[in-house]
Amino acid sequence: MSAIAPPSFIRQFQIIPLVSVAAVGIAWQLLALSGYFGMALPSPVDVIRQFLQMIQEPISGVSLLGHIWASMFRVLSAFFIAVIIGIPLGLFMGWNKKVEAIVKPIFEIFRPIPPIAWIPLAILWFGIDEAPKIYICFIGAFVPVVMNAYTGIRFTDPLLLDAARMLGASKKQQFLEVAVPAALPAVFAGLQNGISLSWMCVLAAEMVGATKGVGYLILAGMNMDNPSMIICGMLIIGAVGAAIAAGLRLAERKILPWKREIAQ
Amino acid sequence: MSADVEVRKKKVQVKNLTKKFGDLLVLRDISFDVYDGEFLCIVGPTGCGKTTFLNVLTKLIPTTDGDIYIDGEPANPLKHNLSFVFQEPSSMPWRTVEQNIRVGMEIKRWPKEKADQRLEQMLDLVGLRDFRNYYPQQLSSSMDQRVVIARAFAIDPDLLLMDEPYSQMDLKLRYYLEDEITRIWRELKRTVIFVTHNIEEAVYLAERILVLTPKPSTIKTEVKVDLPRPRDFSDPEFVKIRNHVTEMIKWW
Amino acid sequence: MKQKLAAEKVFKSFRRTDGTVIEILNDINITVNENELLVILGPGQCGKTVFLKLVAGLDTPSAGKILMDGQPVTGPSPTRGMVFQKYALMQWKTVIENVGLGLKLNGVSRSERDDKAERLIKLVGLSGFERAYPDQLSGGMKQRVGIARAYCTDPEVLLMDEPFGALDAQTRYQMEDEVLRIWEEAKRTVVFVTNNIEEAIYLGDRIVLLSKCPAHVKAEYEIDLPRPRAFTDPLFLELRHRIADNSDLAL
């Protein structure tokens, strides 16, 4: 498609985003220099300097990478459990009316409760170590994973099931050969939602009581009166979240090769 | 009927129309005229760029070269009334049948009395008077399509373009709708360009048929259809013309 | 001639969500002879597809019975193959996997079914496209895959539900010739549903004309013209007139 647009057209749309971001950066720098917000608003230069320092020196005894890994570990463990339980549960719920009748009402009761609301109870149950944090992240991931798998199967094209039945498929074969593969794009959407929600939950969990993690970094920044560290923490969180999402999209493209972008 | 064609003024003039998508040449130097009040059909082999041709004609996409003139001036959707009927019904689901037909007239700010009168006329012409307060979802797809046609004709378009509007319907229904469109066309005397894959339909409806070549498309030939209406698909003259057009398309 | 299929006093109605009952099929009696190409012709929305699903075993009649070889049809079976208007191909499977699906479901080994599938892919003129995915194919090609898939389980009966309805006129003509060619090469009993009179006369040994909803059999026509038939042959056109005059208009 790029051969069709004249070069100036493309250049426009590659340059404009860069200019836009640079403009924001410059505006920020000027605002910080003006001192209007005083110490509360560090300049971009300050933030970069802080970031470099964080790479070299440990914060509260743990390296930057160590903090990032701590959070990732919590999210990935929780996500793993959510996927192992959630995908089969969602798929069966969508396929079997009896299972749906039993599980769905319970689900609907718990679904509206935000994962963050579970924090106090989780602490009561599991203490303040890793377990409650993983639990919260699990709740965050569980709901979208299950619901997406459920809707994915529920809306299986009946035409495809008819075709399979004509070819002699048993109920089980209809499920495995048609319904599940057809639901995979929805399942992946659920995974994307689940992991991003899980990532958000880990921050909340860490801010309540942790000794390491990216959420902890933000808290540490606040306690140390170091707004640069806070902003660094925020940017790192955003970057890691984006990287995880990109990784998942790559996995999706590998596993679902037939789902291509519709080219003009 | 055909003697009038020479005397009629030219409504639409297409001159050297060329369209490229990057290196891909889709339309090549297409030139033809359409006379005022004429029913022109355009047929061509699959994938010959008919849709691109229509998009360019209605200025939805720009030409690479050449231009289209209506009444001597470059075609301008803001100035000229161009109506378009697509293959799938494109009625507005949030409006009733009556409100759908009114849409064009509302946009062009017709005086209320004139619009009301035209509305009643259109409802009668498409036979949907009893359904004026229904919503499109409540109608069958053929009725839905007729709402679109009524809406398209209502504004006295300078040019009405129809892109295979009946291709999804069964044959008996097609005959009925083709008779209906002929009736509407004759009563309102509008200029119509009707694109179709179905050669029989083209011969049934058209005063003139333009046959396009495969990509890069240009006009292969023009076939005049001089038969009296209503036409009969089993009439030997009809069959002759139909076979002729079929040969023209097959013969790349 | 041996009777392969029979529909005896078949009625079918559906209950809508608001409780009202809508009658679709009204006392349908049709027989199909072995290796005959029977066309069921009717206006849009008249229940032709509903009827075909009953013959397929995907649904059951409200009253009456459907028999194959004298035995009642109780459910879907690979002895009846079906080709759908919207193709119903599995997007995530390649052409060869789609075609061989029936065999896979019946436990046939990979090499055996790939073998058979390749032969059928060749029969329908798609050699070279074995590893393509459905969304890389045109409508006509997708339907060829549909036909190959239906043939793969060696069905005795082939049911075709307006298979060319979604295709443009020219592709449709090509596919009609394809279907005849494939049928001549691999003779089966075929029940072909369409709303297109021209297509019906072009293809059928016999045509059963249905009325509009609730549908009953309006007429039956024996088509005695030798194949290949010409659309503009005077006998063809005369037959078209006769059938068109007898057809219901479904607005």
| Higher-scoring residue by pLDDT: A128, B129 | B129
> How many C-beta neighbours within 10 Å does residue B77 have?
11
Which chain C residue has its CA at the smallest distance from B233's CA? C237
Distant-in-sequence, close-in-space partners of A192: CB < 8 Å, separation ≥ 6: A245, A248, A249
| Higher-scoring residue by pLDDT: A222, C192 | C192
Q: Give a yes or no: residue A108 inside a domain.
A: yes
User: What is the complex's ipTM, to 2 decimals?
Assistant: 0.91
β-partners of residue B67 are B15
Closest CA to C235 of C201, C203, C195, C197: C201
Which structural domain, as residue segments, surrounds residue C125?
Answer: 89-154
Distant-in-sequence, close-in-space partners of A98: CB < 8 Å, separation ≥ 6: none
Residues from chain B that touch A4, judged by Cβ atoms under 8 A, are 21-22
Eight-state DSSP code of residue C214: S
> How many C-beta neighbours within 10 Å does residue B138 have?
12
We report the CATH number of the domain holding residue A150 as 1.10.3720.10
Which chain B residues touch A if contact means CB-CB below 8 Å?
21-23
Q: Is there a contact between C43 and B198 if contact means CB atoms under 8 Å apart?
A: no
- Residue C124, pLDDT score: 92
Task: Please compute the mean of the pLDDT values over residues C151-169 and round it to a whole number.
Answer: 91
Are residues C128 and C159 part of one domain? no
**Angstrom distance (rounded) from CA C13 to CA B39:** 44
Whether C233 has a pLDDT exceeding 60, the answer reads yes
**Angstrom distance (rounded) from CA C132 to CA C122:** 14
Nearest to C88 among A162, A169, A256 (CB): A162
Which structural domain, as residue segments, surrounds residue B5?
Answer: 1-80+158-166+196-252
Q: Is there a contact between C247 and B172 if contact means CB atoms under 8 Å apart?
A: yes
Report the phi/psi class of residue C33: left, alpha or beta, with left for phi > 0 and alpha for psi in -120 to 50: beta
**Angstrom distance (rounded) from CA C87 to CA B162:** 28
| Residues C39-94: tens digit of each pLDDT | 999 887 778 999 999 999 999 999 999 999 999 999 999 999 999 999 999 999 99
Residue C92 in contact with residue A181, Cβ under 8 Å?
yes
Q: Which of A3-12, A122-131, B64-73, C193-202 has the lowest mean pLDDT?
A: A3-12
B198, C20, C222, C238 from C201: Cα distances, Å: 17, 37, 10, 11
Q: Is there a contact between A162 and C78 if contact means CB atoms under 8 Å apart?
A: no
Instruction: Give me the number of domains chain A comprises.
Output: 1
| Higher-scoring residue by pLDDT: C37, B184 | C37
Q: Give a yes or no: residue C147 inside a domain.
A: yes
Instruction: Give me the number of domains chain B comprises.
Output: 1
Task: Please compute the mean of the pLDDT values over residues C22-51 and round it to a whole number.
Answer: 91
Distant-in-sequence, close-in-space partners of B81: CB < 8 Å, separation ≥ 6: B104, B108, B155, B156, B157, B158, B159
Are residues C171 and C65 part of one domain? yes
Q: Give a yes or no: residue B62 inside a domain.
A: yes
Are residues C132 and C116 part of one domain? yes
Q: Give a yes or no: residue A242 inside a domain.
A: yes
Q: Which two tokens stand for residue A111?
A: 């679904």
- Residue A262, pLDDT score: 39
Closest CA to C146 of C163, C170, C131, C130: C163
Are residues C140 and C71 part of one domain? no
**Size (chain C), residues:** 251
- Residue A3, pLDDT score: 47
- The percentage of chain A sitting over the pLDDT mark of 70, rounded to a whole number, equals 94
Does any CB of chain A come closer than 8 Å to the CB of residue C206? no
Distant-in-sequence, close-in-space partners of B180: CB < 8 Å, separation ≥ 6: B125, B126, B127, B146
Does any CB of chain C come closer than 8 Å to the CB of residue A185? no
Residues from chain C that touch A257, judged by Cβ atoms under 8 A, are 133
**Strand arrangement, sheet containing C21-33:** C21-33, C3-15, C63-68, C71-72
Q: Give a yes or no: residue B32 inside a domain.
A: yes
Closest CA to C94 of C166, C145, C140: C145
Does any CB of chain A come closer than 8 Å to the CB of residue C88? yes
Residue B194 in contact with residue B202, Cβ under 8 Å?
yes
Are residues C224 and C100 part of one domain? no
We report the CATH number of the domain holding residue B17 as 3.40.50.300
- Residue A7, pLDDT score: 64
Coil, helix or strand for C56?
helix
H-helix or E-strand containing B28? strand B24-35
Distant-in-sequence, close-in-space partners of B103: CB < 8 Å, separation ≥ 6: B92, B95, B151
The nearest CA of chain A is from the CA of C102 a distance in Å of 5
Distant-in-sequence, close-in-space partners of A48: CB < 8 Å, separation ≥ 6: none
Residue C229 in contact with residue C202, Cβ under 8 Å?
yes
Q: Give a yes or no: residue C220 inside a domain.
A: yes
Does any CB of chain A come closer than 8 Å to the CB of residue C102? yes
Whether A264 has a pLDDT exceeding 70, the answer reads no
Which chain C residue has its CA at the smallest distance from A263's CA? C136
Q: Give a yes or no: residue C11 inside a domain.
A: no
| Residues C50-62: tens digit of each pLDDT | 999 999 999 999 9
Residue C220 in contact with residue C34, Cβ under 8 Å?
no
Handedness of CA A190, A193, A197, A199 (dihedral sign): positive
Whether A83 has a pLDDT exceeding 90, the answer reads yes
Task: Please compute the mean of the pLDDT values over residues C114-137 and round it to a whole number.
Answer: 93
> How many C-beta neighbours within 10 Å does residue A15 have?
10
Q: Give a yes or no: residue B229 inside a domain.
A: yes
Residues 24-63 of C with CB under 8 A from A: 53, 56, 58
| Cα end-to-end distance, chain C, whole Å | 39
A12, A13, A15, A24, A47 from A18: Cα distances, Å: 10, 9, 5, 10, 20
Nearest to C76 among A166, A178, A184 (CB): A166
- Residue A1, pLDDT score: 41
Whether C171 has a pLDDT exceeding 90, the answer reads no
Q: What is the CA radius of gyration of chain B?
A: 18
Q: Give a yes or no: residue B141 inside a domain.
A: no
Report the phi/psi class of residue C70: left, alpha or beta, with left for phi > 0 and alpha for psi in -120 to 50: left
- Residue B86, pLDDT score: 85
Coil, helix or strand for C67?
strand
Residues from chain C that touch B249, judged by Cβ atoms under 8 A, are 170
Q: Which residues of chain B have pLDDT under 70?
A: 1-7, 60, 251-252
| Higher-scoring residue by pLDDT: A124, C249 | A124
- Test mutation, B19, B20, B21, B51, chain A, max A CBs within 10 A: B21
Which structural domain, as residue segments, surrounds residue A85?
Answer: 58-255
Q: What is the CA radius of gyration of chain C?
A: 18
Residue B217 in contact with residue B53, Cβ under 8 Å?
yes
β-partners of residue B39 are B192
Which chain A residue has its CA at the smallest distance from C89's CA? A160
Eight-state DSSP code of residue A43: -
Residues from chain A that touch B22, judged by Cβ atoms under 8 A, are 3-4
Q: Give a yes or no: residue A48 inside a domain.
A: no
What mean pLDDT, rounded, does chain C reach?
92
**Size (chain B), residues:** 252
- Total-model pTM: 0.83
Q: Which two tokens stand for residue C228?
A: 């290949």
Are residues C168 and C149 part of one domain? no
Q: Is there a contact between B239 and C168 if contact means CB atoms under 8 Å apart?
A: no
| Ordered alpha helix ranges (H), B155-211 | 171-188, 199-205
| Residues A135-165: tens digit of each pLDDT | 999 999 999 999 999 999 999 999 999 999 9
The nearest CA of chain C is from the CA of B40 a distance in Å of 19
Q: Give a yes or no: residue B28 inside a domain.
A: yes
| Residues A224-263: tens digit of each pLDDT | 888 888 888 899 999 999 999 999 999 998 888 776 543 3
Which chain C residue has its CA at the smallest distance from A158's CA? C88
- Test mutation, B128, B144, B172, chain C, max C CBs within 10 A: B172
C73, with CB counted inside 10 A (0-12, 13-18, 19+), is: buried
Q: Give a yes or no: residue A36 inside a domain.
A: no
C26, with CB counted inside 10 A (0-12, 13-18, 19+), is: middle
Residues from chain A that touch C105, judged by Cβ atoms under 8 A, are 164, 167-170, 173, 177
Q: Give a yes or no: residue B125 inside a domain.
A: no
Are residues C190 and C117 part of one domain? no
Q: Give a yes or no: residue A45 inside a domain.
A: no
Domain boundary among C154, C176, C211: C154
Residue C164 in contact with residue C175, Cβ under 8 Å?
yes
Are residues C174 and C133 part of one domain? no
Q: What is the DSSP string of A84-148?
A: HHHHHHHHHHHH-HHHHHHHHHHHHHHTTS-GGGGHHHHHHHHTTSHHHHHHHHHHHHHHHHHHH
Are residues C117 and C57 part of one domain? no
- Test mutation, A1, A2, A4, chain B, max B CBs within 10 A: A4
Instruction: Give me the number of domains chain C comprises.
Output: 2
| Cα end-to-end distance, chain B, whole Å | 32
Whether C21 has a pLDDT exceeding 60, the answer reads yes
Residues from chain A that touch C135, judged by Cβ atoms under 8 A, are 258, 260
Residue B79 in contact with residue B159, Cβ under 8 Å?
no
What are the φ/ψ torsions at residue A262 (nearest 5 degrees)?
Answer: -80, 110
Nearest to A165 among C58, C133, C150 (CB): C58
- Residue B97, pLDDT score: 92
Q: Which of A204-208, B96-100, C183-187 has the lowest mean pLDDT?
A: A204-208
Q: Give a yes or no: residue C164 inside a domain.
A: yes
Q: Give a yes or no: residue C194 inside a domain.
A: yes
